[in-house]
């Protein structure tokens, strides 16, 4: 645990991860069919910076839509939950979070904020920024993997746990439900959970959001290559891969790949792995599932949440489900 100041405490749990487990996870992914790399590795400091740029792109309708929904319903969400502690999983730059913090402040309910993210740099930056913006706010940052370290969410007051940015869509049909159940287990009875989901919409709009004209999403995707160069000493050449993002109708999700643009062998020194790739062969780096209300209601019920209210924009591009642990 690091105590940064009277108002800020940051716990770092990633360093406790066994390097052998990390290597095994990457190795297994690369050798599976389809080949995959864990999405969380997209978010080192550079990746987080690029994701912040993506959120401002005209094609990336998701962030501004979610911002508008939050701005419309934040007071209602805060009143319903009666929470004095905001726990944010995958908090990133916490830009939209300010809308909820402001509403808690207005209701005189703002005591604690817990940003939880795999990216240490962003947890530290956001903690510092928010402690300057909100006087008397206690911040307890957690640097960890929300698929492995949820039990490290600090004990606190009456909680509103939020999972914004449609991040649930990055988790597949097995991991997503298990993750929601773990979140539920970490909450106390009467705590609230706010889940953001992106709805199925026209394919053109969806695919444009991940193929922006400035190429920022392509750079974000290719950042995986530099992360792998550092993390497992891969001799990955960024110029030998293209960014590909397309909608998979059967699974209602955008899938993002690094596609090998030539026949090549990539050496992963720390994995003792020589990966032979054909021209056109793909490694999946991210999925982003798009939902409908029924599917989300089913997910929440299976994780033992009770749905309280739905909020959405007029075009039904995005929804926020407010649920409660009974
Ligand atoms: C899609 S972004 C959303 C960021 C922010 N919540 C928003 O709405 O703009 C996903 C965030 O989750 C974090 N993240 C991804 N996988 C994670 C994991 N396994 N554990 C903890 N954080 C993770 C990333 O670092 C990133 O900040």
Q: What is the pLDDT of residues 240-285, one digit of tens each?
A: 999 999 999 999 999 999 999 999 999 999 999 999 999 999 999 9
Domain containing residue 77: CATH number: 3.40.50.150
Which residue's CA is the closest to the ligand 1 atom numbered 3?
165
Q: How far is the CA of 249 from the centre of ligand 1 (A)?
A: 24
pLDDT band at 155 (very low <50, low <70, confident <90, very high): confident
Q: What is the DSSP string of 35-53?
A: EE--GGGG-SHHHHHHHHH
Which residue's CA is the closest to the ligand 1 atom numbered 9?
165
Strands in 199-281 per DSSP E: 241-248, 253-260, 264-268, 273-277
The answer on 245 and 281 residing in a single domain is: yes
The answer on 43 and 176 residing in a single domain is: no
Q: Which helix (H) or strand (E) holds 193?
A: strand 192-198
Whether the Cβ atoms of residue 285 and residue 36 lie closer than 8 Å to each other: yes
The answer on 198 and 318 residing in a single domain is: yes
pLDDT band at 86 (very low <50, low <70, confident <90, very high): very high
Q: State the total domains in the chain.
A: 2
Say how far apart CA 208 and CA 213 lie, in whole Å.
8
Q: How far is the CA of 51 from the centre of ligand 1 (A)?
A: 10
Ligand 1 pocket, residue 92 CB under 6 Å: yes
pLDDT band at 129 (very low <50, low <70, confident <90, very high): very high
Residue 68 per-residue DSSP state:
H
The answer on 149 and 48 residing in a single domain is: no
Which residue's CA is the closest to the ligand 1 atom numbered 13?
90
Q: How far is the CA of 188 from the centre of ligand 1 (A)?
A: 23
The answer on 95 and 185 residing in a single domain is: yes
For residue 1, is it within any domain?
A: no
pLDDT, average across residues 304-316 = 98
Q: How many CB atoms lie within 10 A of CB 258?
A: 26
For residue 3, is it within any domain?
A: no
State residue 16's pLDDT score.
Answer: 66
Say how far apart CA 301 and CA 299 lie, in whole Å.
6
Percent of residues, the chain, with pLDDT higher than 70: 98
State residue 234's pLDDT score.
Answer: 95
pLDDT tens digits, 87-96: 999 999 999 9
Percent of residues, the chain, with pLDDT higher than 90: 93
Ligand 1 pocket, residue 147 CB under 6 Å: yes
Strand order in the sheet with 8-12: 2-3, 8-12, 138-143, 112-117, 85-89, 159-163, 192-198, 318-324, 306-312
Q: How far is the CA of 123 from the centre of ligand 1 (A)?
A: 11
Q: How far is the CA of 220 from the centre of ligand 1 (A)?
A: 13
Pocket test for ligand 1, best of 92, 142, 148 (most atoms within 8 A of CB): 92
What's the predicted TM-score (pTM) here?
0.96
Domain hosting residue 92, numbered range: 60-202+292-324
Which residue's CA is the closest to the ligand 1 atom numbered 19?
145
Pocket test for ligand 1, best of 53, 118, 170 (most atoms within 8 A of CB): 118
The answer on 268 and 157 residing in a single domain is: no
């Amino acid at each position: 645990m690091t105590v940064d100041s009277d108002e800020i405490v940051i716990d770092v749990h990633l360093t406790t991860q066994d390097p052998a487990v990390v290597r095994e996870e990457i190795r297994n992914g690369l050798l599976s069919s389809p080949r995959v790399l864990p999405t969380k590795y997209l978010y080192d400091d550079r990746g987080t910076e690029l994701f912040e740029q993506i959120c401002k792109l005209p094609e990336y309708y998701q962030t501004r839509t979610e911002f508008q929904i939050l701005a419309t319903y934040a007071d209602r969400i805060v009143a319903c939950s009666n929470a004095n502690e905001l726990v944010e999983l995958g908090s990133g730059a916490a830009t939209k979070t300010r809308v909820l913090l402001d509403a808690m402040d207005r209701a005189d309910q703002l005591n604690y904020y817990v940003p939880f993210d795999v990216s240490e740099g962003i947890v530290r930056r956001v903690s510092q920024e928010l402690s300057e913006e909100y006087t008397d706010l206690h911040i307890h940052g957690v640097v960890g993997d929300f698929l492995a370290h949820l039990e490290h969410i600090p004990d606190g007051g009456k909680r509103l746990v939020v999972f914004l940015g449609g991040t649930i869509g990055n988790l597949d049909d097995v991991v997503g439900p298990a993750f929601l159940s773990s979140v539920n287990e970490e909450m106390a009875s009467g705590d609230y959970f706010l889940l953001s989901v992106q709805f199925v919409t026209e394919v053109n709009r969806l695919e444009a959001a991940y193929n922006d004209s400035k190429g920022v999403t392509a750079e974000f995707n290719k950042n995986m290559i530099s992360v792998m160069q550092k993390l497992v000493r891969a001799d990955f050449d960024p110029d030998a891969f293209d960014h590909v993002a397309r909608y998979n109708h059967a699974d209602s999700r955008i899938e993002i790949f690094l596609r090998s643009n030539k026949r090549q062998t990539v050496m992963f020194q720390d994995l003792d792995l020589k990966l032979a790739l054909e021209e056109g062969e793909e490694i999946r780096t991210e999925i982003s599932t798009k939902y409908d209300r029924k599917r989300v209601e089913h997910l929440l019920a299976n994780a033992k949440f009770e749905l309280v209210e739905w909020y959405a924009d007029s075009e039904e591009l995005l929804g926020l489900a407010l649920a409660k642990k009974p």
